[in-house]
Copies of this chain bind each other. A is one copy, B any other.
Amino acid sequence: MAEATGERTTISYEKLCAGMTNMLERGLGYPREGADVTASVLVEADARGHASHGVARIKIYHEEVRDGKNDPKATATVVHETPISLVVRGNRAPGFPTSKTAMEKTIEKAGTSGTCMTVVRDSCHFGIAAYWAEMAAEAGMIGWAFTNTLRASIPTFGRERLLGTNPICVAIPAGRKPHFTVDMATTTVPLGKIEVAARRGGVMPVGWAVDEQGADTTDAVRVAEVNRFDKSPFGGQLFLGGATETLGGHKGYGLGMLVELLTAGLSMGTATYDTYQEGCGICHYFQATRLDLFGDPARIQSHVAGILDRVKNSQLAAGHDRIYTHGEKEYERREKSLKEGIWLDPATWKRLDDYADLWGLEHIEP
């Protein structure tokens, strides 16, 4: 992993959190509490090996604040409430403090009532969905976190980029770490993977995206440019299963649409095709559910762990050396990051320096 050419490769979790909190507070004008949670979620992403959702996103959050799409001083408000539900209006506040408040209230209500389902409209990007779903799992509950996003993907047989990468995340506690946490964009890959392919030769596999006519393409450079900079309303990422029904593309599209309806639909919020007009306009869905709705939580968690163990200890396909269950890779990478430091690539180190310079702050140092 030591590809960095300069001196800096890794940094401790705590130092990176402190440095990012400082940048968000003094550079972007976030209140301290909002800066704290935002820094935590970004650093968690890097610690787990998901650099696409890590501290390098300071650039995007800077642009959103500069363009007035994201108001760091705003706070979310609850606009509708029952014993088992909440509707939250984000008021263009950063998605991190809004999601923290929403998920805390969701867990609190579930603690009292057994479950709570919460929808949020007019929010901004909330980082890795697993952060929110796992808050419920840490409290011994099943946690759900869905979100729509910026425009990224194409309905099956279409060519307009109307829907998001629309991730689904569910965390189920198993009485041990890691939880079972499935956290997946409903598109075949995240945009970050197409951008990496664009930098490394420019070719990507069929099944990741279509061109502006809606046809399969392997031109990662063009798709990365169109999607990231919204250069055309046409062309974009494919849902899981690809462009046709042969490999189930209509199923991935169905899951993406389900996320769109549970987030933007139920919250009366902005569908992905209209996000980033006024504010970010992002919508979320959260749920926490107590296990004792279904019986003895300890017995259920032990049964869940047994199913996970049977699958992950099963016989391997030729040429493979491990079957993972969901959440293991990220958990193990996080443990390594806590022990050895979080690795950031040279471009990310440079970006952090550039923003520190822009805002007259000290560089973040390991």
Interface residues of A (CB under 8 A from B): 80, 82-85, 87, 113-115, 117, 119, 154-160, 162-163, 168, 170, 172, 180, 182, 184-186, 188-189, 205, 207, 210, 213-215, 234, 240-243, 246-248, 250-252, 254-255, 257-258, 260-262, 264-268, 271, 273, 289, 291, 293-295, 299-300, 303-304, 307-308, 310-312, 314-318, 320, 322-326
Contacts and interface: CB of A to CB of B under 8 A. Distances in A.
Given A158-B317, A159-B315, A252 B240 contact: yes
A200 to B, nearest CB: 14
Number of this chain's copies in the complex: 2
Contacts of A155: 311-312, 314, 323
Contacts of A207: 247
Main secondary structure of the interface of A (DSSP, over half): mixed
Contacts of A316: 157-159, 214
A317 B251 contact: no
B242 A247 contact: yes
Contacts of A119: 294
A317 B214 contact: yes
A163 B314 CA distance: 11
Contacts of A315: 158-160, 234
Contact of A258 (B87, B170, B324): B170
Given A180-B258, A266-B294, 19 more contacts: A84-B113, A84-B293, A119-B294, A155-B311, A159-B314, A159-B315, A172-B261, A180-B261, A188-B247, A205-B246, A240-B240, A240-B247, A240-B248, A250-B324, A250-B326, A260-B307, A261-B307, A271-B310, A273-B310
